[in-house]
Amino acid sequence: MIDEGKVTSIIIEESSKELSQMAKGVDVVIVGAGPAGLTASHYLAKAGLKVLILERRVSLGGGISGGGSLFHKVVVEDVELEGYNPKEIAEELGVPLKKVDDNLYTTDAAALVAKLSNASVSAGAKIVLGMHVEDLIYRIEEGVTKVKGVVALWSPIYLSGLHVDPIFFKAKAVVDATGHDAEILKIASKKLPNVNFEVGREYGAWIDEAEKLVVKYTGKVLEGLYAAGMSVASFYRLPRMGPVFGGMLASGKKVAEKIIGDLEV
């Protein structure tokens, strides 16, 4: 016999234990569980870092599922993007690929979501769904603005517009993996002192350039704040690539390597 009250108390106790540990500080908070965020989390967690992904939806994969214009296939390419090969990354993460052209491979969107999510949690990353990041924690040290974590609200609270105070997660590094809207970079531009940038929107479509440039420009934006995936394209006004996901995987891997280097793991 399973007691109803016990089920709820297990959920609350176990979640609270973990959330309270993570609130005190993780190594990396990644905002957004799309392809870039999930890929980054795998490599960061695999390197031994404590990684928390906060995702405001109650689903994983971001734009992957709707990515092929609602067709169930997506495309990954076998090319060098600034030293990163998306096909090799996909294979490393267990994504089943079918060759369809010289350097183009396809997989089911659902398979990409499942394999990236599996790679993330299997490496030890923690994913909390239904959590909307609405602000940043910062300090000014020797005149330099440094990001020290995020301010978050459960999504239903955020959506309801109720006047409810948020919760905090301290982190050594925060990654904006929020996609086209580059929400965390926008927050930084509006809410942090001494930050003199504006966030725009990516340019029109040019796949070859978009895939290369999004990887090239992936990295640190401010002390403690990094960008990966389509937020990079919006921030630096790069072209878009549409339903080709290689650049997102490569960008995720690159941001992980940058952070691992900066945190001297």
Rounded to a whole number of angstroms, the CA Rg of the chain reads: 18
- Separation between Cα atoms, residue 39 and residue 33, nearest integer Å: 9
Going by DSSP bridges, is the β-strand pair 26-31/167-176 parallel, antiparallel, or unpaired?
A: parallel
195 in Cβ contact with 224 (< 8 Å) = no
Among 76, 113, 133, 175, binds ligand 48F (CB under 6 A): 133
252 annotated to a ligand binding site = no
**Minimum CB–partner distance for residue 17 and ligand 48F (Å):** 22
Which residues within the stretch 27-46 sit at the binding site for ligand 48F (CB under 6 A)?
31-37
- Separation between Cα atoms, residue 43 and residue 27, nearest integer Å: 13
**In 68-180, alpha helices (H):** 86-92, 109-123, 155-160
72 annotated to a ligand binding site = no
- Separation between Cα atoms, residue 43 and residue 48, nearest integer Å: 9
**Minimum CB–partner distance for residue 264 and ligand 48F (Å):** 26
- Binding flags for ligand 48F, 149-188, as an x/- string (CB under 6 A): ----------------------------xxx---x-----
Backbone angles phi, psi at 32, to 5 degrees: 110, 125
Stretch that binds ligand 48F, among 9-17, 116-124, 240-248, 253-261 (CB under 6 A): 240-248
Binding site for ligand 48F (CB under 6 A): 31-37, 54-57, 62-64, 67, 132-133, 177-179, 183, 229-230, 240-241, 244-245, 248
Bind-site residues for NAD(+): 36, 55-56, 63, 133, 163-165, 230
